[in-house]
Amino acid sequence: MTSSPVILVLSALGMETALRIKADLPDATIHGLETRVEGADVNFNNFGETIRQHYQSGHAVIALCAAGITIRSLASVLGNKGAEPPVLAVADDGSAVVPLLGGTTGVNVLARRIAAILETVPAITTSGELRFGTCLLNPPPEFQLQNPEDAKTFIADLLAGKTVRIEGEAPWLEEARLPLDDNGELRILVTSSNVTPQKGELVFQLKTAAIEITASPKHKRGRLAVVGLGPGDPDFMIPAVKRELQRAEDILGYETYVRMAGHFRPDQTVHMTDNREEMRRARHAFELAATGRSVVMISSGDPGVFAMAAAVVETLHESDNPSWHAVELEILPGVSAAFAAASRSGALLGHDFCVLSLSDNLKPWDIVEKRIALAAEADLAMAFYNPISKPRPWQLPRAIEILRKYRNADTPIVLGRNIGRTAETIRVITLAELTPEQVDMRTVILVGSSLTRSFDRTDGGKWVYTPRWYGTKPEG
């Protein structure tokens, strides 16, 4: 999923076009070249730096200038195709819309939408779009399309710009470049149950699973457990989770976590999933559980902390399928990264604290900044999850800058990396010493409050703690 679109404007004429686009894309922000453009939401001075920064932080970019300038400016950062957000060049008079990058993140959908706003035709060049029709209708032999008569309209709708959501696992569609969207109007349903296809839906029935279901005892109630593995070390996993992993018939999760969970028996089915598609994964879990199976959804740490539990409960809330509501749903907690890191180094979270994700993939960056500033002002200790990644290189430096406004240079910082896994490291430093280079996605950052202090331990490391009291130390 990409963040809100950024419209980059270089001329007064471009500004008029930008305003027309924004009227229909209200979550977009208009960034204007300071010397040429008036009335933008934000100003910039250097086009190249600005476009690279937004691209790398995952924002869809709509550049109101020549395709050549756009591509040349991004050339140095085009390495990672998988993560690229949509990038489009739009003629400043609104006459042409050219999707350039982001074939897998919906650039053509966005191009069609903008072209519709500007009453022009998008310059779609992706031949894969023309191919998905054949690919869609040719699943592997164990799947059967239930309603081939609806396929023609379905594909015409796709070509006309409708988006689609996939429920269940459709491996043959992975390369299909479908315009996927979790809230898509159209639906591709892959199921082992017998369902009547609805309007705007293609239903593929999984034949082998259907046989298994008839053989399983009738009225068995399905179960879905959303479990936290803890940070990695099996000793940090609660026994209820261990039992749940034993009883599971289906295990769903991101590959790294599935491997972390240990070995599974041949009679257990493991479904490795992509980390980004949370809602789709949650729907898949309910579909399996609704057939009477015992399903486990795996997260690292605690499943309720920046992980799958919320997506699962939200999916149930949004569903009016009685068989999903009948599933026995349980969330089993785990030791979250912040607690594991704090415990390794003493008790930095011993007084009031807050937990923040620095990722602006699912929330606007302004909110992240505001929360850091307010938490710092309130003198809370803090734990930062998702602190930095390749597409988000500038956010952590900005967070550090804000912290330094409110906290002394000698404030203790704990950097816990790969806690509970091989290659675990724990470092106690000060806010003055903290640099982004010491941090990666496998690190949790703990930030002390004004009362957090540290002292040497005999093994060469340091203990860090925040006292239980605040203000004056109580007697005794």
| Footprint of ligand SAH (CB under 6 A) | 231-232, 299-302, 305-307, 336-337, 385-387, 416-421, 441-444
Residue nearest to ligand SAH (CB): 301
DSSP 475: P
Burial classification of residue 440, based on how many CB atoms lie within 10 Å of its CB (0-12 exposed, 13-18 middle, 19 or more buried): middle
Distances (CA, A) of 394 to 58, 383, 401: 12, 18, 11
Question: Nearest approach, Cβ of 444 to ligand SAH (angstroms)?
Answer: 4
Question: Nearest approach, Cβ of 305 to ligand SAH (angstroms)?
Answer: 4
Q: Could you tell me which of 445, 256, 240 has the C-alpha nearest to residue 354?
A: 445
250-254 sheet: strands from edge to edge: 269-273, 250-254, 294-299, 223-228, 328-332
Spatial separation of the C-alpha atoms in residues 236 and 238, rounded to whole Å: 6
Instruction: Identify which of residues 7 and 426 has a Cβ nearer to ligand SAH in the complex.
Output: 426
Instruction: Identify which of residues 292 and 420 has a Cβ nearer to ligand SAH in the complex.
Output: 420
Question: Nearest approach, Cβ of 445 to ligand SAH (angstroms)?
Answer: 8
Q: Which positions ≥6 away from 238 have C-beta within 8 Å?
A: 230, 332, 333, 334
Question: Nearest approach, Cβ of 353 to ligand SAH (angstroms)?
Answer: 14
Instruction: Identify which of residues 23 and 441 has a Cβ nearer to ligand SAH in the complex.
Output: 441
Question: Nearest approach, Cβ of 301 to ligand SAH (angstroms)?
Answer: 2
Question: Nearest approach, Cβ of 406 to ligand SAH (angstroms)?
Answer: 22
Spatial separation of the C-alpha atoms in residues 448 and 454, rounded to whole Å: 10
Instruction: Identify which of residues 50 and 315 has a Cβ nearer to ligand SAH in the complex.
Output: 315
Q: Which positions ≥6 away from 408 have C-beta within 8 Å?
A: 431, 450
Instruction: Identify which of residues 50 and 57 has a Cβ nearer to ligand SAH in the complex.
Output: 57
Instruction: Identify which of residues 210 and 313 has a Cβ nearer to ligand SAH in the complex.
Output: 313
Q: Could you tell me which of 102, 123, 125, 127 has the C-alpha nearest to residue 114?
A: 123
Instruction: Identify which of residues 101 and 340 has a Cβ nearer to ligand SAH in the complex.
Output: 340
Instruction: Identify which of residues 191 and 389 has a Cβ nearer to ligand SAH in the complex.
Output: 389
Burial classification of residue 42, based on how many CB atoms lie within 10 Å of its CB (0-12 exposed, 13-18 middle, 19 or more buried): exposed
Question: What percentage of the chain's residues is helix, strand, coil (to nearest 5)?
Answer: 35, 25, 40
Q: What DSSP line would sit under 44-79, residue for residue?
A: ES-HHHHHHHHHHTTEEEEEES-HHHHHHHHGGG--
Question: Nearest approach, Cβ of 303 to ligand SAH (angstroms)?
Answer: 7
Please identify which residue in the block is written with the tokens 């399928």.
321
Spatial separation of the C-alpha atoms in residues 251 and 298, rounded to whole Å: 7
Question: Nearest approach, Cβ of 333 to ligand SAH (angstroms)?
Answer: 9
